Structure 1
Amino acid sequence: MRPITDVLREYRRGRAVDLASQRLAELIMAVDETNKAGELTLKIKVKPAKGGGSEKTLSIDVKSKVPEMDLPEAVFFSDQEGNLHRSDPAQQEMTFRDAAELKPSASA
């Protein structure tokens, strides 16, 4: 029996193997980054020749389901016009100064 890897290497001069290898590397990096599972599917479709006989037509499809990074939640505040802000627009902002810039009082 001839190994499937031989057929895959001969299919379009190895393009399916090259594509599957590239997608697998991308998948591995995404799994490492997200700590989530991913998937690589190699689908081989075989069709008989129209007139019968030993001739077959192959098509290969390489698909991957790469896990995506979840973005963490963020807190925003809404105003009366429906806009979002990082700080609460209904709350007065506090201004801070550098303590070194303050002059010591005479009573201290």
Structure 2
Amino acid sequence: MKPITDVLREYRNGRAVDSATLDFAELIRAVDLTNKAGELTITIKVKPEKGGGSQKTLGIAVKSKVPKVDIPEAVFFSDAEGNLHRSDPQQREMFKEAAEARVGSA
């Protein structure tokens, strides 16, 4: 019996194997980076010759589900106008007045 890997290598001069190899390497890197699971699927469709016979038409698709890096949440503060700020606009800045006084007296 001929191994399926031989058929994959023969299919379009190895394009299915090349595509699966590249996608698999990307998947492994993403799993390492994110510590999340991913998936690589190789689908082979086989169509018979019209009217029967030994001829078959193959279609091979390589698809991957690569995990993505989560973007962490960030804290913002809103003001009365509905704008967002990284620091609380209602909170006075510590030492701001002392720094301004030093700059003014220099």
TM range (shorter): 0.7 to 0.9
Q: Matched residue pairs, number?
A: 98
Corresponding position of 1:45: 45
- CA displacement at 1:51 relative to structure 2: 2.2
Residue matched to 1:20: 20
- Could you list the structure 1 runs, at least 4 aligned residues long, displaced by more than 3 angstroms after superposition: none
Bigger CA radius of gyration = 1
Query: One-letter code of the match for 2:13?
Result: R
Note the residue ranges of structure 1 that are not aligned, 5 or more in a row. Answer: 98-108
Name the counterpart of 1:36: 36
Q: Percent identity?
A: 75
What does residue range 16-95 of structure 1 map to in structure 2 within 5 Å?
A: 16-94=16-94, 95=96
- 3-state SS, counterpart of residue 12 of structure 1: helix
| TM-score after normalising by structure 2 | 0.87
- Quick one: distance in 2 between partners of 1:40 and 1:17? 12
TM-score, normalization by structure 1: 0.85
TM-fit CA distance, 1:39: 0.4
Q: Does 1:3 align with 2:6?
A: no
In terms of fraction of residues, the more helix-rich structure is: 2
5+ unaligned residues in a row in structure 2: which ranges? 100-106
